[in-house]
Structure 1
Amino acid sequence: MARTRTILLLGILGLALSACGNRRELKPVAGQALPPAPYGRADKPDPDDLLKVPVQAKPERSVELRARSQDRGDDPFNLPPEN
């Protein structure tokens, strides 16, 4: 009984700690500077620009749904494993 209560208390404490994040403007640590501007770029990006995920890292999905069952075509790369 005490063990269950301890696990429950730790779970509630973990949830409470995970929900206490603070959202504010990002600034570099005192005495530190932002990284230099990328090669070929005139302006220096701010912290929010540096945290944006580029399109190539997270492309949009194109999900093509099939209306009805269809046999798959021959796949030349579907080879048996080599021993």
Structure 2
Amino acid sequence: MKHLILAGVLALGGCGSASELKPASNQHLPVAPYSARATPTATQLLTPNSQARPERSDELLKKSDTRRGDEFDLPPHN
């Protein structure tokens, strides 16, 4: 049982090694987008922009106002 746990820990330990991403030897990075000045690197392609990951808005409600009447909030018509 101890050998199985040790093997699992060693196998997972190898997953943590990180190196710079590079395309395969016979592949190239994608061509530059239409209006880009240069071809983006692998790191730039993997970094999400603000539209893909918007920042969180933590603005708290500072002032509570009562809602005014809605003239279009009518009961259903049969």
For normalisation by structure 2, the TM-score amounts to: 0.60
- After superposition, the CA RMSD in angstroms is 3.7
**Cα 1:72–1:47, aligned 2, differ >3 Å: closer, same or farther?**
farther
Q: Which protein has the larger Cα radius of gyration, Structure 1 or Structure 2?
A: 2
Distance 1:16 1:65, change over 3 A: farther
Equivalent of residue 49 in structure 1, options 28, 44, 48: 44
Tell me which residue corresponds to 2:75.
none
TM-score by structure 1 length? 0.56
Tell me by how many angstroms 1:23 deviates: 1.1
CA shift, 1:13, in A, is: 2.4
Which residues of structure 1 form unaligned runs of 5+?
1-5, 75-83
Q: Distance in 1 between matches of 2:37 and 2:56?
A: 32
The amino acid across from 1:31 in the alignment is N
Deviation of 1:24 after TM superposition, in Å, equals: 1.0
Q: Which runs of 4+ in 1 moved over 6 A?
A: 69-74
The aligned runs of 1:21-40 (5 Å cut-off) are: 21-40=16-35
Separation in structure 2 between the aligned mates of residue 43 and residue 16 of structure 1, nearest angstrom? 39
Q: Does 1:58 align with 2:53?
A: yes
Q: Distance in 1 between matches of 2:38 and 2:21?
A: 18
Question: What are structure 2's unaligned runs of at least 5 residues?
Answer: 70-78
Q: Which piece of structure 1 moves more, 12-21 or 58-67?
A: 12-21
Q: How many residues align?
A: 66
